[in-house]
Amino acid sequence: MKKHFVALCLLFAAFFAVLVGKQSQVQAKTYTIGTDVTFPPFVYANSHNKYVGIDMELIRTIAKTEGFKIKIKPVGFNAAVQGVSSGQFDGIISGMTITKEREKTFQFSTPYYESGIVMAVAPKSNIKSLKDLKGKRVAVKTGTQGATYANSLKKKYGFKTVTFDDSDNMYNDVKTGNSAACFDDSAVLNYGVRTGLGLKIVTKPADIGKYGFAVKRGHNQKLMKMFNAGLAKLKKNGKYEQIIKKYTGQSATSAKKKANEKKDDASNTFAGLIKENYQAILTGLLETIKLTVVSIICATIFGILVGLLGVIPNKFSQGLSTTIIYIFRGLPLLVLALFIYNGVPSLTGSKIPAFVAGIITLTLNEGAYTAAFVKGGIDAVDSGQMEAARSLGLSFGKAMRKVVLPQGIKIMIPSFINQFIITLKDTSILSIIGILELTQTGKIIIARNLQGFRVWTIIAVIYLVIITILTLLSKWIERRIND
């Protein structure tokens, strides 16, 4: 009896442990939060490539206080907005201004910051007011309140706007003289100017708005309640003011400015940047290689199947092959990526991981090109070869496999290798859906150290080295086949 009692107690304890574990999992649900990590002082990557800033510290502290977990998705502001709209993300925190238009789609939290829109120009610019913008080009960031404000004024003041997906490229367009000015949130531009951004603000804050955490209207109500409750607690216990001061106070901006002004410091040289960021660069490179390899395998299989459909003596198969090639070769890769990542989930209600969406995008696009040259390679083989094989009694399939394909493959090989190289380069476009490949990694590093030229040079060299290796490999394979 004693043994049975002990066993029963152990079984009950195990059951209780599992029950408690499941309960804790429910209580500690992980929410996916979209953001733009090129938006200091609200969101940016520090020297350890960890996402920090007012927004990041607020959401992490609130999550800890209210007992839930978060997963940050650094996809850029416009992509984050689309991600929440399509159900890919549970919420967005990225200095998002609360507006009546946005409230039609999103539900906002209690405001956690107030900011207006200002105009910045190059230090030596003669532009002092909006009137001086007539006939000029103005840079704005996609989907932001700064862009909305600038577009509302361009007809009145006679300027035109050009849009960018991230702040760094917008600022650089002004610093290089391509654009006369840019519009952005006063909190962000004031921080940038005080920390050595290299621009000057020439207007007073206008279109004052309040920032809020947002979820899709009618969704994630529990998350919204927890955020509001946590924010109220932080404001009451003084932690909120500590966070704001930590990133916008005099000591914080002075320290950041001193770091940015050390132009001769080792960390701002090519070698120093690589040493400081090699882990992030290596992670981005490995993600790029992984995307490339998996996509090449999937695209090759997909392309060969679709290409073979195009040479089968069946009108339906040929028509299907032609249609698939036409659609996926005709769609821009960027549009296809956004459609799969944001469009499909909004229709089906099911999330698609960014990596999976990237693989599907590259498979369909690169596979369509592969199918085209597979079909072309087979068609390039003299039709007499098939006729001769069939006259010897071989079936269509056997004739294709033993006679036509071996000759067609020799024609296709250079195109296959070239497509591998194109696939590698096309992975950079997937940064738009938040995949942390090499290009997205570069954006995040630049947002912290403002070393755009050096970082992009490093990224470009890495791509060139890999492409050179693939090119040499393709020539070696081509020679071996032709020998």
Please state which CATH class domain 115-209 belongs to. Answer: alpha beta
Residue 28 scores a pLDDT above 70? no
What average pLDDT does this structure show over 301-308?
88
Judge whether 185 and 146 are in contact, CB under 8 Å.
yes
* Contact (CB, 8 A) for 225 and 65: no
Give the lowest-confidence range in 21-35, 141-155, 349-363: 21-35
pLDDT of residue 256: 59
CB of 109 within 8 A of CB of 231? yes
Three-state DSSP state, 163: strand
DSSP class of residue 98? P
Average pLDDT, integer, range 297-313: 87
pLDDT at 12 over 50: no
Please tell me the pTM assigned to this model: 0.70
pLDDT digits (tens, 9 = 90+) for 84-119: 998 889 999 998 989 998 999 999 999 999 989 999
Question: Which pair of structure tokens corresponds to residue 311?
Answer: 């040479």
pLDDT confidence band for 383 (50 / 70 / 90): low
**Selecting from 3.40.190.10, 3.40.50.1580, 3.40.50.11540, 3.40.50.300, what CATH number does the domain 29-112+212-257 have?**
3.40.190.10
Instruction: List, for residues 286-303, the tens digit of each pLDDT value.
Output: 999 999 989 988 998 898
Reported as a single tens digit per residue, the pLDDT across 354-367 is 899 999 999 999 99
**Is residue 134 very low, low, confident or very high in pLDDT (cuts 50, 70, 90)?**
very high
State residue 442's pLDDT score: 85
Residue 144 and residue 77 in contact, taking contact as beta carbons nearer than 8 Å: yes
Closest among 129, 148, 167 to 38, alpha carbons compared: 167
Tokens (6 digits) for 154: 């361009």
**Which of 67-71, 338-342, 395-399, 426-430 is least confident?**
395-399
Lowest-confidence pick of 147-156, 199-208, 280-289, 433-442: 433-442
Helix (H) or strand (E) run with residue 118 in it: strand 113-121
Structural tokens at position 414: 């250079």
411-457 pLDDT, tens digit each: 666 677 778 888 888 888 888 887 888 888 888 787 776 677 888 89
Domains of the chain, residue spans? 29-112+212-257, 115-209, 268-482
Contact criterion met (CB below 8 Å) for 85 and 342: yes
As a whole number of angstroms, the distance between CA 340 and CA 364 comes to 11
**Confidence bin at 8 (pLDDT 50/70/90):** very low
**pLDDT at site 454:** 84
Is residue 18 over pLDDT 90? no
* Beta carbons within 8 Å of 156's beta carbon, 6+ residues apart: none
Q: Bridge partners of 115?
A: 209
Average confidence (pLDDT) over 342-360: 86
pLDDT at 23 over 80: no
* Residue 96 DSSP one-character state: P
pLDDT for 11 beyond 60: no
User: Given a cut of 80, is residue 407 above it in pLDDT?
Assistant: no
Q: DSSP class of residue 123? A: T
Asked if the domains at 29-112+212-257 and 268-482 fall in one CATH topology, the answer is no
> If one looks up domain 268-482 in CATH, what number appears?
1.10.3720.10
User: Do 173 and 74 contact (CB within 8 A), yes or no?
Assistant: no
Structure-token match 């492409």, residue found: 467
Q: Tell me what percent of the residues of the chain surpass a pLDDT of 70.
A: 83
